[in-house]
Structure 1
Amino acid sequence: MTSRYDHPEYCESVFHLICALDIPDRVLMPIRNLVGCSLGRIFWLDWLRQDSRDAEWMPTPGDHEDPEWHRIDGWPERGDGAKSRKWNRRAALWMQWNSIDAWHVCDWLITATAEGHPWLANVDAAGHPKKLMKCGSLERLVFEATKGLRQRNLRDIILGPEDENFVLDLGAGHTLVQLLSRASLRKEGLHMHHCIGHGGYDELLDDPDVGFYSVRTLDGKPIATIEIRDSYIRQYRGPANAEPSDAVKELVAVAIDAFGWRDWRDRPRPACDEDYGEEALAVLRNLPPARRRPG
């Protein structure tokens, strides 16, 4: 009997999810199989449940009063490539709604692989770690990731001017500091209880299009961490990966205005166009990302 993991459409779905995760290849390759049997499996099951309700349109999750409806069938009337278009679209939507949780899980997998956590060796008959396979939802994966990333040894790290740099006065005694070294990322992660200091972001420090920033109080305490790629805000989290407070968002708005940062979901996605013919592209480039369900 063919397993789910050999099913062509399952493989297609996981491929597009991995593309949407936007993780550098060097970081991704050691965890690719783990991503497939954790996030990929949850992604597939989420869409199977949706398809049992409606395989063509779906509303924005959690918006119960007047939701936006999204086309999710891949526009089969446009000919070849409908399956690829379908999973490309679904991966983009799923990441739009779940990106913070998905990246949090990936950071856990990166850390566990780099440090050789024992649970990786406790596998089922198919070779998949049982810890991952017991997680039947994204929420459960996030719970395990948070538990697995909890710092064990908080220690003071002395930083110098080559490690972090003052960037902007945000007002009310708060400042924006750029994190420039592995030591600064580690210290930020220790104080904020999230994964930036576990090594998964180290190689990006040398990328001129990527920046890591910390919002600090008057006494230098970090209260939010921001990742910028190509002037887009990819991640923006408070302590323990929580949503930043409204007060912190107001402070960071000063930096957003000053530097012209934009929302990650609004970035151009030219790579997605590769699966469409020119005739389809002429329509899709002007198509709103969400439409009301036809009456």
Structure 2
Amino acid sequence: MVSKYNHPEYHEAVFRLTCELDMPDRVLHPIRNLIGCSLGRVFWLDWLRQDSRDAEWMATPGDHEDPEWHRIDGWPERGDGTTSRKWSRRATLWMQWHSVDAWHITDWLITATAEGHPWLANVDAAGYPKKLMKCGTLERLVHEATKGLRQRNPREIMLGPDDESFVLALGAGHTLVQLFSRAALRKEGLLMHHCIGQGAYDDLLDDPDVGFFSIRNLDGKPVATLEIRGGYLRQFRGPANAQPTDAVKDLVAPAIEAFGWQDWRDRPRPTQDEGYGPEAIAILTNLPPARRRS
């Protein structure tokens, strides 16, 4: 019997999931193997379980009253390319449902690699870190990621006007601040326990179409981080990549309207993606009410 990890579609499945994570090669390359034996493996196992129930159609998880049904077999009647269509579709759906957790885990892997965490050297006979291989579910990976990010040691980083700048008063003592420098990203990441300061976003600081923003409370502490690309709100995260509170979402909603930032799903998509449904990123579950789709 063919091992589930030697299945002819396994590498295609992991590849398609990796594409959906939307990371530059410079960031992806050092953690590619870690992605494969953690998120990729769990992603594959999730779909094996689904295929044992129904390999053609799947309802949106957790939607019990009037679920939306999704075709997941790759449309074999279209001819060649069924496998790539199937796993592209499945990767898009899985990220729609689990993107917040997936990016949280990815942040942890980036941080652990950049900082040389000792667990990376404790590997099994195949060379995979035992800490990752013992995690058989997404929930377990999230648990380990949260612990790993909280173990980082924030240190004081002095910032000036060239590093960050006030943008807008949001009310209730909260402000919107734009982050301009590597030092600003580093401090934001340390205080928020996510990987914005670990180098993955450094190259984007010089891109005029990309902006990083921090929501600060009355004491000047960050409570949420935003990433804007080309006028589209791509990420909106609270501490440790959790969803921002409803109160913070409500405070940010007028700013989103004022600057004309749009839902990431509404950005132009390549024509070859037509028919696959809207891509869903972490931000989609975090959008303030003013920008939610009906």
Q: State the TM-score, normalized to the length of structure 1.
A: 0.87
How far apart are 1:3 and its partner, in Å? 4.8
The residue type equivalent to 2:84 in the other structure is: S
Task: State how 1:107-256 maps to structure 2 within 5 Å.
Answer: 107-256=107-256
1:259-274 superposed matches below 5 A: 259-270=259-270, 272-273=272-273
The letter for the 2-side match of 1:65 is: E
Q: Which residue of 1 aligns with 2:37?
A: 37
Relative distance call for 1:27 and 1:14 in structure 2 (3 A) is same
Cα separation, 2, equivalents of 1:63 and 1:88: 22
* Cα distance in structure 2, aligned partners of 1:88 and 1:266: 19
**Residue identity matched to 2:44:** W
Residue number in structure 2 paired with 1:94: 94
Judge which range, 168-177 or 130-139, deviates more. Answer: 168-177
8 Å CA contact 1:209, 1:230 repeated in 2? yes
- Aligned-residue sequence identity (percent) comes to 79
| Aligned-partner SS, 1:125 | coil
- Residue 9 of structure 1 deviates from its aligned partner by 0.3
* Equivalent-residue separation in structure 2 for 1:152 and 1:37 (angstroms): 23
> Who is 2:291 aligned against?
none
Question: Which letter maps to 2:131?
Answer: K
Secondary structure at the counterpart of residue 135 of structure 1: coil
Distance of 1:41 and 1:222 partners within structure 2 = 34
User: Once the two structures are superposed, what CA deviation does each residue of 1:69-111 show, in whole Å capped at 9, x if it has no partner?
Assistant: 1111111111111111111111111111111211111111112
Q: What is the Cα deviation at residue 4 of structure 1?
A: 4.1
Q: Is the 8 A contact 2:170 2:255 kept in 1?
A: yes
The amino acid that maps onto 2:22 is D
Cα deviation 1:31-88 (Å, max 9, x = unaligned): 1111011100000001111111111111111111111111111111111111111111
State the secondary structure of the residue aligned to 1:93: helix
Query: Which stretch of the first structure deviates more once superposed, 133-142 or 153-162?
Result: 153-162
Residues 224 and 239, structure 2, Cα contact 8 Å, conserved in 1: yes
- Structure 1 CA distance for aligned equivalents of residues 221 and 85 of structure 2: 45
Q: For 1:13-40, what per-residue CA distance to the aligned partner results, in whole angstroms no more than 9, with x for missing partners?
A: 0111011000000110111111011100
One-letter code of the match for 1:224? A
Between the aligned partners of 1:69 and 1:49, the Cα distance in structure 2 is: 17
2: distance between equivalents of 1:252 and 1:168? 10
Unaligned residue ranges in structure 1 (runs of 5+): 274-280, 290-295
CA distance in 1 between partners of 2:23 and 2:271 (Å): 15
Instruction: Give me the whole-angstrom Cα distance separating, in 2, the residues matched to 1:229 and 1:95.
Output: 19
CA RMSD of aligned residues (A): 2.1
SS at match of 1:95: helix
TM-score w.r.t. length of structure 2: 0.88
In 2: Cα distance, 1:234 partner to 1:3 partner: 38
Query: Residues 147 and 288 from structure 1, CA distance in 2 versus in 1: closer, same or farther, beyond 3 angstroms?
Result: closer
Counterpart residue type for residue 229 of structure 1: R
| 1:2–1:54 CA distance, 2 compared to 1 (3 A) | closer
In the alignment, which residue of structure 2 is the partner of 1:13?
Answer: 13
Aligned to 1:68: 68
- Are 1:81 and 2:81 an aligned pair? yes
Give distance in 2, aligned partners of 1:173 and 1:117. Answer: 38
What is the deviation of 1:217? 2.1
Aligned equivalents of 2:163 and 2:65: distance in 1?
48
For residues 2 and 210 of structure 2, the distance between their equivalents in structure 1, rounded to whole angstroms, comes to 42
Question: Which amino acid in structure 1 is aligned with residue 148 of structure 2?
Answer: G
Give the conservation status (yes or no) of the 8 Å contact 1:111–1:200: no
User: Aligned equivalents of 1:62 and 1:265: distance in 2?
Assistant: 21
Number of matched pairs: 279
Shift of 1:241: 2.2
Q: Aligned in 2, Cα 1:186/1:153: closer, same or farther, shift over 3 Å?
A: same
**CA spacing shift, 1:98–1:82, aligned 2, 3 Å:** same
- Tell me, in whole angstroms, the C-alpha distance in 2 between the residues paired with 1:80 and 1:21: 25
